[in-house]
Structure 1
Amino acid sequence: MEWLSALAGLLVGLVVGVTGVGGGSLMSPILILLFGVAPATAVGTDLWFAAVTKTVGGAIHHRHDNADWQVARRLWLGSIPATLATLWWLWSHHRAAEKGGLIVTVLGAALVLSALFTPFRARLVARAARSDGGGLRRWQPALTVAAGALLGALITLTSVGAGALGASLLLLLYPVRLTPKRLVGTDILHAVPVALIGGIGHAMIGNIDLALLGALLAGSVPGVAIGSTLAARVSDRVVTPALALVLLVVGVRLLV
């Protein structure tokens, strides 16, 4: 079981490093569907997994100047308060959220949305770039904070939000400013403190499996390091459709 967990961590780490898609988009469903982990524990464990792997990936992207700190700070203004508010709600309604299937339902819906956004990101970017006038730039800070709040709540509740959804929102808001490399680096950088705060909160609630986390990290740390280094060499024409299909299938499986 431990070597399977390490292998899962390695594969997810590679995907995170290459595409910037959050580990929760793949790891939480893997833990729930294949390993039979309780949804809340899967989310809590995966948030710690994401915090460590994204710290490694974020450091590498920062070293290569692939991150926009101003955009990340705007996201944090919304995401960190939303993370704390979501943790408070989970603390108060923990059993109801798990028994009612809320976590699994929101997780499945987030994956389906991520899958639908992923293959159309290029078209969205082209359209947003053509209409990138002064009005959009004027509202960029406020809209970025709002996007951060949405992502913070989703990441804390389901460990999904960074990656496909986060990247799509950033592309719509900054179609010209964020190049593909800086998009991935900024998205990963933003997710680090959000995942860490969310992981601490879930640990206080009791939603974490330390043995499972150790096995996942054993594979993911080298995986995300390799993926971040290879990010510029992998063709989106192959990765994007395949990733969208996987997210769609897993999201639908969680919903049904």
Structure 2
Amino acid sequence: MTLTYIFSGFAVGTLVGLTGVGGGSLMTPLLTLLFGVSPTVAVGTDLAFASITKATGTFTHRLRGTVEWHVVRLLCYGALPAAVVATLFLKNFGALDKEIGQLIRYSIAVSVLLTVVALLFKGKMLNWLNKHPEKQLQGKNLAIATIVSGAVLGTLVTISSIGAGAIGATLLVMLYPRMSAAHIAGTDIAYAVPLTAIAAFGHWWLGSIDWVLLGSLLIGSLPGITLGSMAARAVPEKFLRGLLATTLTLVAAKLVL
């Protein structure tokens, strides 16, 4: 089984490298549906996995100067308290109970579908905003919207481990349409580091992290991400995103049904 987990980590890492979509939208459903890991343990383990991999990515983006730290700060104002509240909710209502497990399963499905929407319509949303600059938020309203977005993402990520990647990047594009793609990616990864770390710590407190599984996934994913990143230019992005969106839609349907 350990070799299977390593291979799965490699496969997900490769897809993340190819598409840039967060591993949570792929890894958590994979653990839940294919390997029968309980939803709570799948979420907790994936959060620990994400906190490690995203920390590495943030270091790289920081060296390149592609992190907007004032935006990271605003997102964290909303995301970190939301992660703590969501963890306390899981603790008080029994994170390992069957009913809560089913709630988490549905939360994963909703988060996966939101990722699909983000994949398919991010470009159209950005084009609309560029054509209607008067609709773009400014000043205090922009700051408040960023904090609220952080709170929504913090809740989604803590409960389902999904949201910090494609959904977070899409929200950043909508709020900051003038920000370059590199800075969107760097900022999205940077705020996710403390968020996933706090959420992972909360799941460790709840006892819902499988450390052997985590180690196996990391062994496979790190070379997978490297390989996928190297091959990204050779595969048409439109084809990859379409394939990924179709797969995730089927995953969400399977989770609900």
**Same-fold call, TM > 0.5?**
yes
In the TM superposition, what is the alpha-carbon distance from 1:234 to its structure 2 partner? 6.0
Cα offset, 1:233, TM superposition: 7.2
Q: Which runs of 5+ in 1 are unaligned?
A: none
**What letter corresponds to residue 82 of structure 2 in structure 1?**
A
Q: 1:183 to 1:166 in 2, by over 3 A?
A: same
Q: Note the C-alpha offset of 1:230.
A: 6.3
**Which residue does 1:216 correspond to in 2?**
217
> C-alpha displacement at 1:63, in angstroms?
2.5
Q: Are the counterparts in 1 of residues 129 and 135 from structure 2 also a CA contact under 8 Å?
A: no
In the superposition, relative to structure 1, how do residues 228 and 83 fare at CA in structure 2: closer, same or farther (>3 Å)?
Answer: farther
Name the residue aligned to 2:182.
181
Contact 1:60 1:228 in 2 (8 A): no
Match of 2:50 in 1: 50
Aligned partner letter, 2:159: L
Percentage identity across paired residues of the two chains: 38
Give the whole-Å Cα distance in 2 for the aligned partners of 1:159 and 1:207: 12
Are residues 166 and 27 of structure 1, via their aligned partners in 2, closer, same or farther at CA, if it must alter by over 3 Å? same
CA distance in 2, matches of 1:63, 1:246: 34
Distance 1:134 1:42 in 2: 39
Q: Which residue of 1 aligns with 2:246?
A: 245
Aligned pair in 2 of structure 1 residues 15, 204: CA closer, same or farther (>3 Å)?
same
Match in the other structure for 1:147: 149
Q: Aligned pair in 2 of structure 1 residues 191, 15: CA closer, same or farther (>3 Å)?
A: farther
Alignment of structure 1 residues 1-256 onto 2, 5 Å: 1-95=1-95, 98-100=98-100, 101-133=102-134, 136-138=137-139, 139-177=141-179, 179-227=180-228, 235-256=236-257
Instruction: Output one character per residue of 1:30-71: Cα deviation in whole Å (capped at 9) or x when no partner.
Output: 100011101101100110011111112222233333322222
In the alignment, the residues of structure 2 paired with residue 195 and residue 153 of structure 1 have an alpha-carbon distance, to the nearest angstrom, of 11
Range with greater deviation from structure 2 (149-158 or 187-196): 187-196
Partner-residue secondary structure (3-state), 2:90 = helix
The change in CA–CA distance for 1:89 and 1:48 in structure 2 (over 3 A counts) is same
The aligned amino acid for 1:62 is: R
**Any conservation in 2 of the 1:57–1:225 contact (CA below 8 Å)?**
no
Residues 155-183 of structure 1: per-residue CA shift (max 9 Å, x gap):
00000111121111111111112x22222
Query: In the alignment, is the contact (CA less than 8 A) between 2:40 and 2:95 conserved in 1?
Result: no
Using the TM superposition, give the Cα deviation of residue 231 of structure 1 relative to its aligned residue in structure 2, in angstroms: 6.2
Amino acid corresponding to residue 223 of structure 1 in structure 2: G
Q: CA RMSD in A?
A: 2.1
C-alpha distance in 2 between matches for 1:157 and 1:125: 28
* Aligned AA (1:88): L
Conserved 8 A contact 1:151-1:166: yes
Q: Is the deviation greater in 139-148 or in 225-234?
A: 225-234
Taking structure 1 as reference, are residues 66 and 227 closer, same or farther at Cα in structure 2, changes over 3 Å only? farther
- How far residue 227 of structure 1 moved from its aligned partner, in angstroms, is 4.5
Where does the alignment leave 5 or more consecutive residues of structure 2 unmatched?
none
> Structure 1 CA distance, aligned partners of 2:171 and 2:8?
28
Q: CA deviation at 1:116?
A: 2.2
76-85 or 132-141, which moves further after superposition?
A: 132-141
